Structure 1
Amino acid sequence: MPTPERTSIAEIVAAAREILELEGLAGLTMAAVAERVGVRAPSLYKRVGSRDELIGLAADATVRELSSRLGALDRGEPRTAIAAMAHGFRAFAREKPAGYHLVFALGPEATRPRTESLTQATEVLTRTIARLVGPDDALEAARLFTAWAHGFVGMELSGAFRMGGDVDRAFDYGIDHLVASLTPMAP
């Protein structure tokens, strides 16, 4: 009779993401995840081949969650939806900063989110922006939005805004001006 399964990939990934947020990437070890899901470390290797693969699974789950959250904000008038997505992007990064950094980190291919998941996340934003700028400029506009939002959020998470002022106001200012720059002018 085969041994019953004591954990699943979903449980392993959930545990990895929890550890990542609590202890950072250095704390995300096979042993820590095995302990969290109630198996011995060698048993974990039956499901996940390496630590790099584990990191990649966590990064992929993170980008899929972000994509889902952004997709839920794609409603109504495009300028409003884009602003909502910017706020959703920022809120996600503040809630899950280690996972957020992992999504954008350079590293071995095994540690990166799957291309399919990144494509899906990009399509959510590109589809919304296309409603504002049209299909010909949608990809470029989505890249502009992502670069601005990631730059702002990355600086915020690293504590780089030290000159005083209201960072929330600065974020709203950036959204307003970015969206205005994408809005086609009336003939």
Structure 2
Amino acid sequence: MPTPDRTSLEEIVQAGRDILESAGLDGLTMQAVAARVGVRPPSLYKRVRNREDLIGLITEATARELSAELARLQAGGDVHAELAAMAHAFRAFAHARPAAFALIFGRRADQARPTVAALAELAAPLLRVTERLAGAAHALPAARTVTAWLYGFVTMELAGAFNLGGDVGEAFEFGIARLTETLAPRDVRQAP
């Protein structure tokens, strides 16, 4: 008689995501995940080959979660408000899941990277907004510019690198406003 499945891949990945945030990447072990889902470590290997695969699954799940959040914000309305909403969602996500955020956007040899398909899905909402903002010919460079600024700002914020005083939230709003303004085509910006 086969042994019953005591956990699912979804439960394993979610446990891994929770451990990642509470204990960091070094604390994300197969033993810790097994304990969290209530099975013995060898039982995990029925669902996940090894720790590296688990990290890859966590990275993919995280990218999909952020992608869904950004896609949800697309209402087809004011492009400036839409870009601002996406920027705020990106920032909030990074604050809520900083370790997972680092998996998506960080680059370390020992970390799994999201697949190209997951990254394309993650980029799609922003590309649609930047196309409306900067035009089809400039959508990709505009999306890269916005992503680079957001990543840089949020990474510095999470690291506590803004030490010169002032309101960090106000600086974030300033950056969003200037990016939106700058990415609009010149003829639109110069119109009376």
TM bracket, shorter-chain basis: over 0.9
The answer to whether structure 1 residue 63 and structure 2 residue 102 are counterparts is no
Tell me the matched-pair count: 187
Shift of 1:61: 0.6
1:120-159 matches, within 5 Å, as 120-159=121-160
Equivalent residue number for residue 182 of structure 1 = 183
2:50 and 2:125 map into 1 onto residues whose CA distance is 31
Deviating above 3 A after TM superposition, structure 1's stretches of 4 or more consecutive aligned residues are 107-110
Task: Structure 2: give runs of 5+ residues left out of the alignment.
Answer: none
- Counterparts of 1:17-166 in structure 2, within 5 Å, are 17-75=17-75, 76-108=77-109, 111-166=112-167
Q: What's the RMSD between the two structures over aligned residues?
A: 1.3
Shift of residue 107 of structure 1? Answer: 3.2
CA distance in 2, matches of 1:107, 1:157: 18
Mapped contact 1:74–1:81 kept (Cα < 8 A): yes
Partner Cα distance (1:107, 1:162) in 2: 27
Amino acid at match of 2:170: R
SS in 2 for 1:15: helix
Is the Cα–Cα contact under 8 Å of residues 7 and 37 in structure 1 kept in the other structure? yes
Partner Cα distance (2:35, 2:113) in 1 = 24
Asked if structure 2 preserves the Cα contact closer than 8 Å seen for 1:54 and 1:111, the reply is no
TM-score, normalised with respect to structure 2: 0.94
Q: 2:167 & 2:30 partners in 1: Cα distance?
A: 41
The C-alpha deviation readout for 1:113-155, integer Å capped at 9, x for no partner, is: 2221111011111012111111111001000000000000000
Greater shift after overlay, 29-38 or 69-78?
69-78
- Larger deviation: 101-110 or 23-32? 101-110
Summarize deviations over 1:79-133 as a string: whole Å, max 9, x none: 1100110011001101111111111122348712222111101111101211111
Mark the runs of 5 or more structure 1 residues left unpaired by the alignment.
Answer: none
Rounded to whole Å, the distance in 1 between the matches of 2:152 and 2:15 is: 28
CA shift, 1:78, in A, is 1.1
Distance 1:138 1:182 in 2: 9
1:53–1:110 CA contact under 8 A, matched in 2: no
**Residues 133 and 180 in structure 2, CA contact (< 8 A), matched pair in contact too:** no
Contact 1:126/1:138 (CA < 8 Å) preserved in 2? yes
